Amino acid sequence: MFDDEIIMLCAASGEPPLLLAASVHCAARAAIRDARQQLHSWGCMDESYSTFNLEVPATMPKVKELCGLDNVERYLGWKMGRK
């Protein structure tokens, strides 16, 4: 009845969601890399800024930590507490 090759060529075979997930993960890695490079240029990170491991699924707390936003939030909390 159905040709197996035609069914596997169909967009409903799962390829679009898989590629979307991969592209989001790659975009998150690129954003983390740029954020870490920026922190390094400000003198906030050592030479190991370019090495990191982004697990799947990439949770928001982990992405924030890898971007260095946890350091920024701690600094802002400290700065606000001084006033």
DSSP 18-50: HHHHHHHHHHHHHHHHHHHHHHHHTT-S-GGGG
Helices 60-67 and 69-81: crossing angle in degrees, nearest 10, is 80
Q: Does 1 have pLDDT greater than 60?
A: no
**In the predicted structure, residue 47 carries a pLDDT above the cut 80:** no
Question: How do the domains of the chain map onto residue ranges?
Answer: 13-81
Say yes or no to pLDDT of 57 above 60.
yes
Bond preceding residue 16 cis, omega within 30 of 0: no
This model's pTM is above 0.85: no
> What amino acid positions are annotated as catalytic residues?
15
pLDDT recorded at residue 30? 94
